[in-house]
Amino acid sequence: MSKIILTGDRPTGRLHIGHYVGSLRRRVELQNSGDFDEIYIMVADAQALTDNFDNPEKVRENIMEVALDYLSAGIDPDKTSILIQSQIPELTELTFYYEDLVTVARLQRNPTVKTELGMRGFGDSIPVGFFTYPISQAADITAFKATTVPAGEDQEPMVEQTREIVRKFNSVYNCDVLVEPSILLPQNQASMRLPGTDGKEKMSKSLGNCIYLSDPAGDVKKKVMSMYTDPDHLRVEDPGKLEGNTVFTYLDAFCKDEYFAEYAPDYANLDEMKAHYKKGGLGDVKVKKFLNNVLQETLEPIRTRRAEFEKDIPYVYDVLKKGTEKAEAKAAATLSEVKKAMRIDYFEDQEWLDSQIRKFETRQ
């Protein structure tokens, strides 16, 4: 069976380093591994509209930003199709049919929907489109027959719900048209859900605690130097705590041993640095300076590539257009199999016409 990747992001802002360690870095590795037959990355604008329907300009303005983030992080359009969700009507059509297979109660139990409903404060005015977006996401994933969805832990309930829809569809319509995907989570705990620079649980634009992939070097440094650490670590000699210490969480997500020789030669690796911090005698400023160097190592090549792509927006436009076209062809093929399995392929099925002719002949 082919190995196929589908994943995506809502274009509600530029991508930040939480997106990067949560999924984007992995997508680039998987893309370059050569292990996959097809790779699709979706700019999920239709999904973004489910809770931003009254602010379409925000979504529209961030399509190009997200595409630039992908390309500068190393997504290669020769290997990966980048597509715009709303431009593929087959996805909406699949969603409509899958809606028959999902109950309201099941959607209400989806943990991600639950959390997000709480966060957005819709009260009694939940838009149906928002409530049912897991079904639309199942359409995104299955339209491409994805086997693998590299994503953060918050997407686990979406992939689980997709698997249920696949099983139900294949069993109700007695076929094997749809493919059950699995999620590929980040490799370490720190990357699973990177906290904001203020130590809050999640990096998010509305909280103003993000480091963006496209931030200039000076902004990154400023944000790092004012990051949340251990509030009780007042003097350098004091023992410091690692739990909940954002600077160390970021190091867990970004640090490589090879950085020590250049930027912190007193230590061979992160464990040694942590041990010193815990014991006392290592100041926050020193660790922050080290983290800044580590982050700049990752972000500098991304920034440089972005500057190049920004000079050639018509090229990026072309990448999006071609990627979307290729993706639509794939989605159309799946939709046609789905309609066949659901017995709604009247004009593609001579057998249906023949059977109807016979049926009405015998009545004469």
Which CB atom, from 19 or from 233, has the smaller least distance to ligand TRP?
19
The two tokens of residue 231 are 């509030």
Residues 15-54: x/- map of binding to ligand TRP (CB under 6 A)? ---------------------------x-x--x-------
Residue from the set 9, 38, 51, 215 that interacts with ligand TRP by CB under 6 A: 9
Which CB atom, from 148 or from 246, has the smaller least distance to ligand TRP?
148
Q: How far apart are CA 94 and CA 275, in angstroms?
A: 54
Q: Hey, which residues between 123 and 142 contact ligand TRP (CB under 6 A)?
A: 137, 140-141
Whole-number Cα distances in Å, 359 to 138, 306, 347, 351, 353: 38, 64, 18, 12, 10
In a 13 Å sphere around the CA of 263, the CA atoms on its Cβ side amount to 21
Residue from the set 10, 14, 16, 306 that interacts with ligand TRP by CB under 6 A: 10
Longest dimension (CA), the chain: 100
Q: Which of 295, 116, 274 is nearest to 221 (CA)?
A: 295
Which CB atom, from 8 or from 240, has the smaller least distance to ligand TRP?
8
C-alpha distance across the termini of the chain, in Å: 50
In a 13 Å sphere around the CA of 39, the CA atoms on its Cβ side amount to 19
Which CB atom, from 153 or from 198, has the smaller least distance to ligand TRP?
153
> Applying CB under 6 A, does 255 fall inside the site for ligand TRP?
no
Residues 153-192: x/- map of binding to ligand TRP (CB under 6 A)? --x-------------------------------------
Sole window of 7-15, 226-234, 293-301, 314-322 interacting with ligand TRP (rule: CB under 6 A) = 7-15
Minimum distance from residue 57 beta carbon to ligand TRP (Å) = 20
Q: Please, which residues have CB within 8 angstroms of residue 336's CB and are 6 or more apart in sequence? A: 345, 348
Q: How far apart are CA 226 and CA 228, in angstroms?
A: 7
Binding site for ligand TRP (CB under 6 A): 6-10, 42, 44, 47, 137, 140-141, 149, 151, 155
